[in-house]
Structure 1
Amino acid sequence: MFDGPYTFYHALAGGVIIGLSSFIASLVTGKIPGISGVCSRLLVPATKDKSWRLIFLIGLIAGASLAFNTITAASVYRPSASLIVMAIAGLFVGIGTRVGGGCTSGHGVCGMGLGAKDSIIATMTFMAVAVITVFITHHLIA
C-alpha cells in the first residue's frame, strides 16, 4: 500500500494519521497542536512545557525522514526551486503565519476540525493565494 507509485491511499493514510495525531496531541496536552504555535513557543524562554513541543518537532522531522527513506513514491518530491527562493518563500510563510494568527496546519487541521470560523476563512484564504501563486509562477513567469 505504501510502496510504488503515489496513489489516493497514500494521501488518505497521511490525512488519517495527521488528523489522529492532532486529536491525540490535543487530548494529551490540552493544546491545539498547530506547528507554528508549537515551534514558536520553543523559542520563548518562559515556556514551561517545552518537552512535548520538542518531541512534536522531532517527530515531524523524523516522520518526514522516515517517509523519504522508506516510501518509493516520496522520492519523486524534491525542491523545484533554488535554496535562495525556498528561503525567501519560507520567510514569507513565517510572516504570513504570524499575521494570520497561525499556520495552515493549525487553521486547516485543528481550527477547521473544531469548526472555528476564523480558521475556515483563513484556510480558504491560504488555498486561494496558493492557487493564484501557482498560476502566476507556472503560467505567467515561466
Structure 2
Amino acid sequence: MIANWFSALGGGILIGLAATLLLWTSGRIAGISGIVDGVLRPRAGDTQWRVAFLAGLVIAAGTCILLFPGAPQPRTDFPRAALVVAGLLVGFGTRLGNGCTSGHGVCGLGRLSPRSLAAVLTFIATAMATTYVARHLVP
C-alpha cells in the first residue's frame, strides 16, 4: 500500500509538472473549469488540446487505481441528486470566482497573483464552513 503522504506528494508534483508543461508548451493555464468550458462552448482550433487534457485526467486516475491496490477509491455511496446539486453549485462558484482551485490555487498562486490568493482564501474558508455545517449542524 502506498503511504498517504507519499501519494499526496507524488500527486502534487505531477499536478505541478502538468500545469507547468501546459503553460510552457502552449501558454495556457491549467484551470479545469476553463478547460471544460472550452469543451462545452467550443471555438475552432481550440478544442482538441482541452479534450486531450481532460481525457488524461481520467486515464491517469484510472491507471493509478488499477496499478496501486491501496490507492483511494471513488466513493459510490452519495445520493445522485446531491451529486448533481453539488456539481451545479461548483460550476456556479467557478463562474462567480472566475476560475477554480486548479486555476487559482495551482497556477495563480504559482504566478504570485493577488487575485488568485484572494480566491484561494475564499475557497478554503467556504470549504471549512461547509464542512462544519455538514458535519455538525445538519443531522
Q: Report the TM-score, using the length of structure 2 for normalisation.
A: 0.92
Cα distance in 2 for residues equivalent to 1:5 and 1:53 = 30
The partner residue of 1:71 within 57, 68, 80 is 68
3-state SS, counterpart of residue 74 of structure 1: coil
After superposition, the CA RMSD in angstroms is: 1.5
Please tell me whether residue 32 in structure 1 is matched to residue 29 in structure 2: yes
Contact 2:31 2:103 in 1 (8 A): yes
Q: What stretches of structure 1 of length at least 5 have no aligned partner?
A: none
SS at match of 1:63: helix
Q: Is the 8 A contact 2:108 2:117 kept in 1?
A: yes
Bigger mean CA deviation after superposition, 14-23 or 71-80: 71-80
What is the CA-CA distance between 1:33 and the residue it aligns to?
1.4
In 1, the alpha carbon distance for the partners of 2:55 and 2:2 equals 27
Q: Which residue of the partner structure matches residue 88 of structure 2?
A: 91
Structure 1 segments of 4+ aligned residues over 6 angstroms from their partners? none
Match of 1:59 among 47, 56, 61: 56
Q: Which residue of structure 2 lines up, in the alignment, with residue 104 of structure 1? A: 101
Query: CA deviation digits over 1:6-39, x for unaligned, max 9?
Result: 4211100000000011000111111111111111
Report the equivalent of 1:8: 5
Secondary structure of 1:18's aligned partner? helix
Q: Between Structure 1 and Structure 2, how many residues are aligned?
A: 139
Q: Is the 8 A contact 2:2 2:68 kept in 1?
A: no
Change in 2 beyond 3 A, CA 1:125/1:47: farther
For 1:136, the equivalent position in structure 2 comes to 133
Contact 1:107 1:122 (8 Å CA) reproduced: yes
Using the TM superposition, give the Cα deviation of residue 5 of structure 1 relative to its aligned residue in structure 2, in angstroms: 5.1
* Residue in 2 that maps onto 1:81: 78
Amino acid at match of 1:117: P
TM-score, normalised via structure 1 length: 0.90
Q: Check the 8 A contact 1:41/1:47 in 2, yes or no.
A: no
Superposed counterparts of 1:111-126, under 5 Å: 111-126=108-123
Q: Quick one: structure 1 residues 63 and 115, their matched pair in 2 at CA, closer, same or farther if it must change by over 3 Å?
A: same
